[in-house]
Amino acid sequence: MALASVLRSDYADFSFDNHKPFGFGLGLGKSDVRASLGEELSFAVQTSLNSSDGEGIERKIEFLHGTTTLAFKFQHGVIVAVDSRATAGSYIASQTVKKVIEINPYLLGTMAGGAADCSFWERLLARQCRIYELRNKERISVAAASKLLANMVYQYKGMGLSMGTMVCGWDKRGPGLYYVDSEGNRVCGDLFAVGSGSMYAYGVVDTGLRKEEGLTVEEACELGRRAIYQATYRDAYSGGQVNLYHVHSEGWTRVSQEDVLVLHQQYKPQPQA
């Protein structure tokens, strides 16, 4: 495949100066991985890339996905909440990135890792889902869609793809939520948070999620919003706006988009009690 040959090329040469921030341009097909600012948007933060010289090309790459994305199931479907900051090193490349990819009217995918990887593969997934629909005259299930994505990227395992995504949707089995990444993991679950701000988000959601009584749609949206806000508060690589989606039996709805600074003013006066 053309894509495989691009990935296989010797772009995995990270002999840059340390002080130059650079985008994670692996496999984007450019002849030189330019470190120019804002050229390559990414949510990845490189820490110890050039650990020691004389290692040759086989350096261990640390992927820290500079973002916060969150999705959880509840009684009335799935809430998907993401931030919108993209960083190139310590430079904030953009505050208005759309990290939720609308695969089709009833499936959503989130973005963490390499921006190009996520959006490319999820667009490919959208194409496969549509073909499935036409062939089988029924919507694809979330399990099958996530499996298709996982199988697609597994073929490129070890070649430098960076993608940590959550596939969220509603099918005949009810709400569906799967975490899929470029390592080949595919896990079904009720709650996932991915990215450098994920720990902060987990803290908030774990506190607020009530399994027994269940949450209303309003409460769940507010929980998702609050979780992302808290993550952006503490994590330097998350920020911008909170984009909130709700997946229900009819498909997904874009609930809100709120700037984190506005939310900060909103939440601040809340008393400690």
Partner 1 sequence: MAARYDRAITVFSPDGHLFQVEYAQEAVKKGSTVVGIRGNDIVVLGVERKSVAKLQEDRTIRKINSLDEHVCMAFAGLTADARIVINRARVECQSHRLTVEDPVTVEYITRYIARLKQRYTQSNGRRPFGIAALIVGFDDDGTPRLYQTEPSGTYHAWKANAIGHSAKAVREFLEKNYTDEAIAVDKEAIKLAIKALLEVVQSGGKNIELAVIKRNEPLRILEAKEIETFVAEIEKEREEEIEKKKPKKSG
Residues with catalytic function: 67
Identify the residue among 48, 75, 151, 155 touching partner 1 (CB under 8 A).
151
Identify the residue among 94, 95, 104, 141 touching partner 1 (CB under 8 A).
141
CB of 144 to partner 1, least distance (A): 4
155 forms part of the interface with partner 1 (CB under 8 A): no
> Site size for partner 1, by CB under 8 A?
7
Q: Which of residues 124 and 217 has its CB atom nearest to partner 1 in the complex?
A: 124
148 forms part of the interface with partner 1 (CB under 8 A): yes
Helices (H) and strands (E) in the chain, counts: 6, 14
147 forms part of the interface with partner 1 (CB under 8 A): yes
- Which range touches partner 1 (CB under 8 A), out of 45-53, 141-149, 232-240, 244-252? 141-149
Bridge partner list, 187 = 179
Identify the residue among 35, 41, 124, 144 touching partner 1 (CB under 8 A).
144
Which of the residues 107 through 136 are near partner 1 (CB under 8 A)? 136
Q: Which of residues 143 and 236 has its CB atom nearest to partner 1 in the complex?
A: 143
* CA distance linking residue 166 with residue 82, whole number of Å: 11
- Which range touches partner 1 (CB under 8 A), out of 17-25, 38-46, 145-153, 157-165? 145-153
* CA distance linking residue 35 with residue 30, whole number of Å: 12
Question: Which residue intervals of the chain are DSSP H helices?
Answer: 2-8, 115-136, 142-154, 198-208, 217-234, 260-267
- Which range touches partner 1 (CB under 8 A), out of 47-55, 85-93, 142-150, 204-212? 142-150
* CA distance linking residue 235 with residue 264, whole number of Å: 14
CB of 140 to partner 1, least distance (A): 8
225, 233 in Cβ contact below 8 A? no
Binding site for partner 1 (CB under 8 A): 136, 141, 143-144, 147-148, 151
